[in-house]
Amino acid sequence: MSQPPGFVNSYQPSHVCKLHKSLYSLKQAPRAWNERFTNFLPSLGFLTIYLDFFLFVKHVGHFVVILLLYVDDIIITGSATVAITDVIQALAQEFDIKYLGPLHYFLGIQIAHHSTGLFLSQSKYVSDLLHKTDIGLSKPCNTPCLPYTRLLKDDGKPFHDPALYRNVVGALQCLTFTRPNVAFSLHQVCQFMHCPMESHFIAVKRILRYLKGTMDYGVQLSKKDLCLTAFSDADWAGDPNDRRSTIGLVVYLGSSPISWSYKKQNTVSKSSTEAEYRALSSTAAEIDWIT
């Protein structure tokens, strides 16, 4: 650090200014802002949720107000409009905030309001990604991966631009927030980030082509019952590289999917029954966490 131009102390040119407040873009600014904001919320009656330190809940009689914080983006919702308005006004008195109205866009996720609930999609994110990777002129395909086909770690020649492969696959991972139908295909290509082959990048391009034809797909959150239901499945020794099984699970709240996951088991299962029991164990743990 150095003294700013025009304000250099000629007697002590090597000294620097001591900041009484964090400035934007400094390394410690995000931590200072988070500490400042989270220390203020308890004065409004908010309590931190133990399982998520960025989720705050406030009870006002029989009503509830929920606040979600992500860096400097905030979502406020609840069961009482008056209580939500009071929280927004209290925040505006303490911080310089801008109220953007009902939620329509948050962290790349588009939210459409319907009479039956909400529809979450990432069509703009997909469009930007296709433009970035020059897949826009390619023909769309019907599936994100070839059926009954698993990728091999040493299949073909090494890909000439590993950095491009990692950038594209890393960007695709953000799509699993609203696109569980590509999670399995993406799970396969993520295993070869350290040494991608040409065949692996072809699989990545197939995912992009599938996304091109299904840009408007997303997740529907409906206003229905709150019954918690879960489904799980597992193949047996499905990965040809290490013979480990892959677990797939999805949890529904009513008719709305709220959690899903695809991952390989930590060890090799000796039978299909063992693989299925491990999938059930992972699903039961997920249900217990949600409950």
With respect to residue 258, please indicate whether it lies within any of the assigned structural domains.
yes
Q: What is the pLDDT of residue 136?
A: 66
Q: What is the pLDDT of residue 19?
A: 77
With respect to residue 2, please indicate whether it lies within any of the assigned structural domains.
no
Q: What is the pLDDT of residue 209?
A: 93
**Among residues 54, 58, 48, 49, which one has the least CA distance to residue 87?**
58
- Clarify whether residues 190 and 153 are in a common domain: yes
CA distances 80 to 43, 59, 65, Å, are 19, 10, 7
Q: What is the pLDDT of residue 70?
A: 87
Instruction: Look at the chain and report how many structural domains it folds into.
Output: 3
- Clarify whether residues 126 and 206 are in a common domain: yes
Q: What is the pLDDT of residue 257?
A: 92
Task: Please identify every stretch of the chain with a pLDDT value under 70, giving residue numbers as ranges.
Answer: 136
With respect to residue 179, please indicate whether it lies within any of the assigned structural domains.
yes
Which domain-ending residue is among 186, 213, 240? 213
The values of phi and psi at residue 133, to 5°, are: -100, 5
Q: What is the pLDDT of residue 131?
A: 87
> What's the rounded Cα separation, in Å, for the pair 231 and 238?
19
Q: What is the pLDDT of residue 2?
A: 77
Q: What is the pLDDT of residue 220?
A: 92
With respect to residue 115, please indicate whether it lies within any of the assigned structural domains.
no
With respect to residue 112, please indicate whether it lies within any of the assigned structural domains.
no
Which domain-ending residue is among 213, 246, 276? 213
What is the extent of the structural domain holding 228? 224-290
- Clarify whether residues 208 and 236 are in a common domain: no
With respect to residue 247, please indicate whether it lies within any of the assigned structural domains.
yes
Q: What is the pLDDT of residue 50?
A: 80
Is residue 182 within 8 A of residue 176, CB to CB? The reply is: yes
